[in-house]
Amino acid sequence: MTKRELSRGKCAFCGDEFSGPGMSRHLAACPARKRALEAEEASGGTTGRLFHLYVKGTYWPGQWLHLEVPASATLLELDRFLRDIWLECCGHMSMFRIGDMHYISDLSFGWWNDDDVEMADFTLGQVLEQGLEFTYEYDFGTSTDLTLRVVSERQGVVDHGEEVVRLMGRNDLFDFRCDECEKPATVICSFCDYTLLCDACSESHSCGDEGFLPVVNSPRMGMCGYTGDVW
């Protein structure tokens, strides 16, 4: 499967499958989600603004997430979620670009512009609005770039225990195939143009196994030392 092909994933509420764009429309009308939200409202939890975010790989849009995040959450909390589910490998720096502003994960490392600010100092409610599109970059050396869009905003229960960010949908793992024999691929070689290999073909691969990384469900697959989500 190429990076530009559409992918499908399951709704976390009803289990039905949709494409990334289709999931946006589905979640707005999903009966199972509606029942879940009504049950939350009846529980009497703390209410507030929530944003529905559609996140996709900038250069690999077939990798996508649908998230719901309270407006009171900080950009750093969103950053941590993205790292855990899709990105974290070696503790690299990261940055949101929203309009003309750069929101950095930690300004104590490196050299920055005078108007760059830290993620931890801003909530989503301060910087986002419905319809806004913005970007994110993890690792300024071997970068993984994401594009995010605020699909909608609603009022609802924001207290979900320790889970600040709610995962509402995620693409299924692609059916990656070995570049040599077409069997299911299990590793990717980061030394030779990201060649996909099955178990058998990997044993005789000319680069050896030093550059192998596992096939995983993330736009960071095959990059740096990424081996899969910790979420």
Domain containing residue 98: CATH number? 3.10.290.30
Rounded Cα gap, residues 156 and 161, in angstroms: 15
Give the tens place of pLDDT for each residue, 169-195.
999 999 999 999 999 999 999 898 889
More confident residue, 207 or 11: 11
| 165 lies in the same domain as 194 | no
| 163 lies in the same domain as 188 | no
Name the strands in the sheet holding 212-214, side by side, starting at the edge strand that comes first in the sequence: 195-197, 187-189, 212-214
The burial of 203, by beta-carbon neighbours within 10 Å (0-12 exposed, 13-18 middle, 19 or more buried), is given as: exposed
| 130 lies in the same domain as 185 | no
Q: What are the φ and ψ backbone dihedral angles of 211, each rounded to 5 degrees?
A: -95, 10
Given pLDDT bands bounded at 50, 70 and 90, which one contains residue 42? very high
Structure confidence at residue 230 (pLDDT):
55
- Whether 230 is in a domain gets the answer no
| 76 lies in the same domain as 24 | yes
| 111 lies in the same domain as 185 | no
Looking at residues 28-50, what average pLDDT do you find? 94
- Whether 220 is in a domain gets the answer no
- Whether 39 is in a domain gets the answer yes
Structure confidence at residue 208 (pLDDT):
85
Q: 171, 190, 207 — which closes off a domain?
A: 171
| 56 lies in the same domain as 165 | yes
| 179 lies in the same domain as 136 | no
Give the tens place of pLDDT for each residue, 65-80.
999 999 999 999 999 9
- Whether 226 is in a domain gets the answer no
Looking at residues 60-69, what average pLDDT do you find? 96
| 181 lies in the same domain as 160 | no
Q: Domain residues for 198?
A: 175-215
- Whether 2 is in a domain gets the answer no
- Whether 223 is in a domain gets the answer no
| 192 lies in the same domain as 165 | no
More confident residue, 184 or 109: 184
| 71 lies in the same domain as 159 | yes
Whole-model pTM: value is 0.93
Rounded Cα gap, residues 44 and 34, in angstroms: 16
- Whether 167 is in a domain gets the answer yes
Whether 157 has a pLDDT exceeding 80, the answer reads yes
- Whether 201 is in a domain gets the answer yes
Share of the chain above pLDDT 90, in %: 83
| 101 lies in the same domain as 209 | no
117 contacts 104 by C-beta, under 8 angstroms: yes
User: How many domains is the chain built from?
Assistant: 2
Whether 231 has a pLDDT exceeding 50, the answer reads no
- Asked which of 9-13, 157-161, 202-206 is least confident by mean pLDDT, the reply is 157-161
- Of 104, 110, 99, the C-alpha closest to 132 is 99
| 154 lies in the same domain as 201 | no
